[in-house]
Amino acid sequence: MPTIHVIAMSDQIAEDEIEQLETAPSVGPSLIGDLLIGELDSWHLGICVVRKDGDDLLVCGENGQVVDRVHTEVKNPTKIADTINSAIASEYGEL
């Protein structure tokens, strides 16, 4: 997979504090858990935002459009994270 320049931030970080990362987008299982239990409202990863919608997690793209709806009834945070990372990589591939 090619290197993607990603801007990572959470809702709690101001724009002037955004850190440029030179890695492929990556959402891990612990972040999935934080989103599912409501510890985080959303997670921003470059042009994408991951947020909870009922029992699902939404991956939204550049204009807020839903790129993927990830059903969380699987109860496997690693598998959910892999699905979200794939959706984010696809969105970056479209750029």
> Residue 22 pLDDT > 70, yes or no?
no
Q: Determine, yes or no, domain membership for 1.
A: no
- Give 36's Cβ-side CA count (13 Å radius): 18
What sign results for the dihedral spanned by CA atoms 6, 12, 18, 22? negative
CA–CA separation, 77 vs 64, rounded Å? 24
pLDDT-derived band at 25, boundaries 50, 70, 90: low
Q: Which domain holds residue 84?
A: 6-93
Residue 78 resides in a domain: yes
How many domains does the chain contain in total?
Answer: 1
pLDDT band with cut points at 50, 70 and 90 for residue 65: very high
For residue 13, pLDDT beyond 50: no
* pLDDT mean across residues, the chain: 78
* Domain-located, residue 16: yes
